[in-house]
Structure 1
Amino acid sequence: MATNTLPSRSLLAAPAQHPGLRLGTSLRLSLSLSHHNQPADDPERRRAPVGSHPAFSRGNRAKKIPVPTTGEPAAGIRVTDRGLAYHLEGAPFEFQYSYTEAPRARPVALREAPFLPFGPEATPRPWTGRKPLPKSRKELPEFDSFVLPPHGKKGVKPVQSPGPFLAGMEPRYQAASREEVLGEPLTRDEVAVLVKGNLKAKRQLNMGRDGLTHNMLENIHAHWKRKRVCKIKCKGVCTVDMDNVCQQLEEKVGGKVIHRQGGVIFLFRGRNYNYRTRPVFPLMLWRPAAPMYPRLVKTVPDGLTSDEATQMRKRGRQLTPICKLGKNGVYANLVKEVREAFEACDLVRVDCSSLNKSDCRKIGAKLKFHVSCCLLSLNIY
């Protein structure tokens, strides 16, 4: 008897039983290892053990560090509802590794001792990276957007001047606040000209599963150094909530989103933007280890009994998926489709067989927050 083969990875959700219900994160993965009998090594061929760096020793790797209930775990580091936040003196906001893809839950434990990932001077751990490159002997002039190189000079890349400016409008060289840098709102014709000049531009910034990362802020200013508009192409998990991506871009970088189509964003730098007076952020030299968060899928969700949860999972496996998510796709309409599906049925199934395991978890967490639903299963075979 032929049976229908189920996708290798699927996500099953049901409406929340309570309006204020907040469930937690988890996924049970089984890993089977096969151990084959191998011949014993020749004692003559054995090499003497080489001393490794103390940073790579197991004694320095803390697998699970509880989050302190009072005080901060380290100087300048704070555990918030969006993960780890780094506070530096004089910074306009608290830094994070990712500003858009941080889970909306407070971590329950840390995988390693917290540290500032901005350089060897601010790191209370052995420095395992490379030494910074020496400064150039040439004294290069600091780039000024209002003082451009002469037109037609050889060896100089094209640079767009500040603007555009309307008749009777004077440029502001000492623009400090975001409103002063943006200037007067763009007209419809100005927006059309700026977008048309960057539709087929090959120079763009790609945003993947990590969303808007901290080091991407400096990359955006590098695009604004020579062009008025930065083209950002988003793919993957970050496209589930494009409104949040646009909001974080405007808050953290200071520009203005003038056009959005699917996963492509056009970010305007402002009429009075000057690269010389831009905000300079320190770069993250490490990627901090992700903390441990609460369980995403509970064995018995709140408001259900064990038998009811089991029956709903069995019934959900027989449902037809409302859509199949492709890898590195644009999922801007996923939340809308799930909400419409809940109007006809109390169970919704999404086929995530083409995605990575981590992407499937992140999408499930976002659907639980935006749709206000309860995740019943996250099947990964």
Structure 2
Amino acid sequence: MQLTEEQRTMRDVVREFAETELRPADREGDETETFPEGAWDDLTELDLTGIAVPEEFGGIDADMVTYAVLNEAVAYGSLSIATAMSVHGLACACIDTFGSDAQRERWLPEMATGRPVGAFALSEPGAGSNPAEMTTTARREGDEYVLDGEKQWITNATRAGVAIVFAKAVPEDAGAGASPDDTGETVTQFLVPTDLDGFAVGEPEDKLGLRASDTAPITLDSVRVPAENRLTEEGRGLAAAFEILTGGRVAIGAQSVGLAEAAFDDAVAYAQEREQFDGPIADIQTIRHKLAEMRTELESARLLTREAARKLEAGADDAAVAASMAKYSASESAMSITNEALQIHGGYGYVSEFDVERYYRDAKITEIYEGTTQIQKEIVARHVLGEQ
């Protein structure tokens, strides 16, 4: 897909920034398991924290193809930072799409500048791939909702100033101890400032990869939220989540491509420098064919992701399916390409001196978050079989 001159210019600027600034920050953050806040401030300088915010509120209101291109460029330097950026973007998109004019005016200008950081709280300890099984509740009491429950795997949890929380609404006139299942009510979406009483963040997870990005559980213990902070009608929260996550899956597809390209470029450079059998290993047919396969897989994933972005921007009927195909394909490619890049490095690929071992660890999460590979396959299969 041919990019516009403006898109190419933005991509090149962000990619150079990602390579020279974000990658070193990612290395340090991975080692110390801390998010590089200085890098976040640098993102703000490039307006990337306002990527999903309309221009009237200080953002850049990127179209979906530009959104994918910039997510790819950031992930070329750091998947951890790209993930934090895209989750912040999810929160912004929820407020922009479903919030009132007052909510948009209150939150979006500040969030476009990167503070407060946004979080997206959908998953729970017992409700990951099937969020309809969530147990977090929101009981209506006059002009407030009282939220109780637990959320799991929340990116930006320790840093967030506002969280988009999904909970099952319980009507005000429901009897004591009533559950959403008793009343027939379903998932609803709320804008929750994280400084409210009863909102608590647990210890960050000790993860295989993405170690520079904070991931932690959230507990809601009688958190009182003004009724005006409800973003969707009661029972419309899941539909809202899936609508927003369609764009999120395009972002993850693009980030997978960015990560894979970083690993590929390192593999090419190493193959040209490393000598065995009286010459660079790039002269060995097995290595050459690996590189050819990696490049072909990389470009296929990129094209599929950008086509999904184009369809989403155009409002195509199959945009959600295209997003699932892109996320599935690109994440699988990221895992495959980082694995091959590590293999080309041999023993050196297995030590932290080289970035490819971190790329390999980071790549695995792309097959899991924002809908596992298996969930994406099921979405595509339903479409193929005419079941949706």
The answer, yes or no, to whether TM exceeds 0.5 is: no
Which structure has more relative contact order (CA 8 Å, sep 6+)? It is 1
TM-score range for the pair, normalised by the shorter chain length: under 0.3
Higher-Rg structure is 1
TM-score (norm 2): 0.23
